Amino acid sequence: MELLTGWVSNIILLILLAGIIEMLLPDSSFQKYIRLVIGLLLILAMLTPLLQIMKTDMNSVLAAMNLADEKKEEKIKNSIENKKTEIQASQAAYILEQMAVPLKNKVKEELKSSYGLTITSLRLQANPKKDGRPFSYEDITAARVVLGKADGQTAIEGVEEVNITVSGSAKDQGSDDGFLPQELASWLAGQWQMEKKQIILIEEGGE
């Protein structure tokens, strides 16, 4: 506001000064030169705010613009990385789901005939791949097996989640039929060429 007030005051003073000078000077050919000079001074006074703006530190303006561009670029980069991570996670989940199909089919018949059970859900877990290579069965770290009663078979009771640990400290969960989850975990591990500690057994409905 002070800048605007000073600017207007300077213009008014120049106009008054021009009027006084014109009245004091005799009517001669010099008046047109005086008016030209005063006109130039008025133009200069009116351009003063623009000149002051041009004197602004342009480096600060450019730095602010660059900072905004960097933040925008970083935001876009983070968004791309997040999308990439989501896509990779989705692809990994799909691959593991497809890898579980042949494992499930391999034990389907014998599991039904020998244990009266069926696998209702098989979820494989694997360490994330950072080098972009596809998953292989050697990458599997755990198999989460949900068991249910096979059609036409007697239900096997008391089958609860058993996480087989390295030390073998997991407690055997027995049943009236003499079925042992530890035994089934060993059998599945042998069929799937996995370690027994990687097999997690869960009774259907007990998740």
Q: How far is CA 137 from the centre of its chain?
A: 29
pTM score: 0.50
**pLDDT tens, position by position, 87-145:** 888 888 888 899 899 999 999 999 888 888 899 999 998 887 766 677 788 888 899 99
Q: Given this model, what pLDDT does residue 164 score?
A: 35
CA 45 from chain centre, in angstroms, equals 55
Question: How would DSSP label each residue in 10-56?
Answer: HHHHHHHHHHHHHHHS-SSTHHHHHHHHHHHHHHHHHHHHHHHHHTS
**Which residues, in sequence order, are CB contacts of 161 under 8 Å at separation 6+?**
200, 201, 202, 203, 206, 207
Per-residue pLDDT band at 2 (split at 50, 70, 90): low
* pLDDT in the model for residue 182: 84
Say what the pLDDT of residue 55 is: 63
What is the model's pLDDT at position 180? Answer: 61
